[in-house]
Structure 1
Amino acid sequence: MVARIYRPARSAMQSGKAKTRHWVLDYEPSKPKVVEPLMGYTSSGDMRQQVRLTFETREEAVEYAERNGIAYEVEETPRIVRSRVSYSDNFRYDRIQPWTH
């Protein structure tokens, strides 16, 4: 069973950096999900899919996986650096591009 160690991305509804500073260890599914014919629920017999461990650093997550004999893959997500632009910059008199509308 392979585990995945990664940093979660921000959600679309989130403007801050909450829940993106820690590292997460998730197990990859070992059994496919099954739709139950009576009620239509989606279920799985794989209990490890319900486990999500969080760590402060990448090294702690890797150390935990190695100590417990868990095969793992580390996913490095590239950091997107955005320039700081304020709303009032749209109305500056010395704009590089003219106002279009």
Structure 2
Amino acid sequence: MLARIYRPAKTAMQSGKAKTKDWRLEFEPASARTQDPLTGWTSSTDMNGQVRLNFETKEEAIEYAERHGIAFRLHEPQEAPIILKAYADNFATNRKQSWTH
């Protein structure tokens, strides 16, 4: 029963950074999913695949896993650089490219 601890990335429908500050503990799948031949639905006998635990800090998630004897793998997030831009930069006189319209 291996778990992974990570910070979820923002979804494609988000423009802000809401719900990306917390850390999440999820269990890796223990068995492969099977497909029902009649309906085509997928199923699994692994109930830990449905468990998602959220924590405010990485240390809380690690402490929880160690306290309950859960083996885990920690995934550190890769931070993207934040480029601040203003609308007024489109009309600046020291632009590197000419403004086309």
TM superposition score category, shorter chain reference: over 0.9
TM alignment of 1:2-81, pairs within 5 A: 2-81=2-81
Question: Could you tell me the TM-score, scaled by structure 2's length?
Answer: 0.93
Kindly state the Cα deviation for residue 95 of structure 1 after the two structures are TM-superposed.
1.1
Cα deviation for residue 87 of structure 1 reads 3.4
Structure 2 unaligned regions, length at least 5: none
Q: How many pairs were matched up?
A: 101
Per-residue CA deviation, residues 36-92 of structure 1 (Å, 9 max, x unaligned), is 111110111100000000000000000000000000010001111221012342232
Letter of the aligned partner of 1:26 in structure 2?
E
* Aligned alpha-carbon RMSD (Å): 1.2
SS at match of 1:19: coil
d(CA) in 1 for partners of 2:29, 2:87: 44
**Ranges in structure 1 where 5+ consecutive residues have no aligned partner:** none
Supply the AA of the counterpart residue of 1:93: T
The TM-score with structure 1 as length reference comes to: 0.93
